[in-house]
Chains A and B, each alone.
Chain A
Amino acid sequence: MSGADPRPGAAQAVPVLELRGLTKRFGGLAAVNDVSFAIREGGISGLIGPNGAGKTTIFNLITGVYKVSAGSILFKGSPITDLEPYRIADLGVTRTFQNIRLFKNLSARDNVLTACHMSARYGLAEAILRLPRYRREEKALAVKADGLLEIMGLADRADLTANNLPYGLQRRLEITRALALDPTLLLLDEPAAGMNPDETEQLMLLISDIRKRFGLSVLVIEHHMDLIMGVCEHIHVLNFGCSLADGDPAVVAGDPKVVEAYLGQEDER
């Protein structure tokens, strides 16, 4: 699709996201140091590592919140390294936050409706004069928002202010809002944080379900190992800003370096 390679079937070879030698320095500290990995189209990948390994920093780099110090980020084969955050979102990369960031004083419906804005094309003058295109597109946006809320099981809470939703549903609403952009790549930053095992299980099912339903690729940061091992097809492990391991869940879990990073070195006396 990107036109990089005209051969049929080649599109599948281009990873949806590729990091090449990605580095981010804060002063003298390299929070992310020469990290390279790729995400296959349509898969669920995991990004794991101990606290402070640089996982969220990588999300901030991909989404343009931080400026990259060195290296590059390719989305469907073309660089997005120096784009403004909203442009990256427009291209189809969006995310949720570790500490939920909803539009707190808006209703659940308005949270989703706001994020649907890219599906409408009418200009401000058309809105002020309420021209036919405004009416038509607003109606379509409302249908889209309500549909998403329905799919995500939030329809009966659509009129509640986001702030008044229970914690689990706030996380769910944040994912719903992200889906409103019709993203190609969804980045989930610790979606199961603060959830009990039961809710985590539900979330796992939800993630696999939306991946299939919306045909997107997902990259998830998570500490719940059962969630990561349960849903991810591919895992990348970070430690102190550097890549530590990369591969299938089973391979990664058995990697002595990974075990060491998480549990500490075995005492060899």
Chain B
Amino acid sequence: MEYIQGIIILIGINLIAVLGLSILTGFTGLFSFGHGGFMAIGAYVCAIFVARLHQPFALAILAGALSAGLVSVVIGRLTLKLKGDYFCIATMGFGEAVRIILNNVNYVGGARGWESLPKLTTVWLTLALDLVFVVVTWNIINSRQGRNMVAAREEELAAQMAGIDVFKSKMIALVISAVFAGVAGALMAQYMQFLRPTMFNMTKSTDLTIMVIFGGLGSISGSILGTILLVSLPELFRDFAQWRLVFYGLAVIVIMVGRPQGLMGGLELTPSGIRRAVAARSARRELAAADKAEAAE
């Protein structure tokens, strides 16, 4: 039972970070390989508030989230004007920089790590926060600010011609994703009870991005599915020892080859989402039939 709970908590924690990244990568079209860095900031700030300053957990989570958000504003100012791949490389550099700085701060344990933190993250807290963050993500995407992000992803120039401040939209997406990652990091610190900078290395960052892509860019339900599958998959195959990573890789490759848009790519598992997908499909068919009839004439 303990074990199952552990997996649920891990899924729940990762889900929060993945939802944030889904807004940034899936909806705004900015790929990040440095969100482990924002998680690290959330985790360490939270741990400092709990273990060193003896503050309540809720305040510590908030502090972790806000710190990650503040750092992201600075990072965004420096990097969001970069195009495409350059932004991606800059985030990668940021993630590594955070890790290496933490390696050298003895106040938080340095490279050796920081042990015996109190365990405050419970399964119910995690699930409750998941619910909150899913709703928040959903509401953001279905607002004008969310649509502006999607417009920036789809066609930046046209978005500007539609009066959208593309830089601001990207900034909002980045800050939201960093805050989400900060919360996830905070929960992680108080669940694992120890912190080590390598926990937030580039592999962690790419894992998060893979979950977003696997689930499907531009889909919240996809991100949820992707997180559940990719966090639990290695656990299911735990008996196969090192083979589990092969299965993990294989699953990612099969999805990328068989369904490049990801499990849910752009679609949502909601009644209206399904209705829309069906309506679009039938309209497409009708159109194709009309074209064929026209060609036959």
Contact residues of A with B, CB < 8 Å? 63-65, 84-86, 89-90, 94-95, 97, 101-107, 110, 113-118, 120, 122, 124, 127-130, 134, 138, 141, 157, 159-161, 164, 166, 177-178, 180-181
Contact = CB atoms under 8 A, between A and B. Distances in A.
Contacts, number: 114
Contacts of A122: 143-144
Contacts of B74: none
Given A89-B164, A97-B158, A122-B144, 12 more contacts: A65-B160, A86-B164, A86-B165, A97-B157, A101-B155, A110-B150, A114-B159, A115-B162, A117-B144, A128-B140, A160-B283, A160-B284
B158 A84 contact: no
Contact of A89 (B136, B144, B162): B162
Interface of B: 136, 139-140, 142-148, 150-151, 154-155, 157-166, 172, 218, 266, 276, 279-280, 283-284, 287
25 contacts: A63-B161, A65-B160, A84-B165, A85-B160, A86-B164, A89-B160, A89-B163, A97-B157, A102-B154, A102-B158, A103-B150, A104-B154, A114-B151, A116-B144, A117-B147, A117-B148, A117-B163, A124-B140, A127-B142, A127-B145, A128-B136, A160-B287, A164-B280, A164-B284, A177-B162
Contacts of B161: 63, 85, 89, 94-95, 178
A128 B165 contact: no
A106 B155 CA distance: 11
Contacts of A141: 144
B143 A124 contact: yes
A164 B279 contact: no
A227 to B, nearest CB: 22
Given A86-B160, A89-B163, A104-B154, A124 B145 contact: yes
A84 B164 CA distance: 10
Contact of A101 (B140, B147, B158): B158
Contacts of B162: 89, 94, 114-115, 117, 177-178, 180-181
B169 to A, nearest CB: 10
> What 8 pairs across the A-B complex have the smallest Cβ distances?
A127-B143, A89-B163, A103-B154, A101-B158, A85-B160, A117-B144, A115-B162, A114-B147
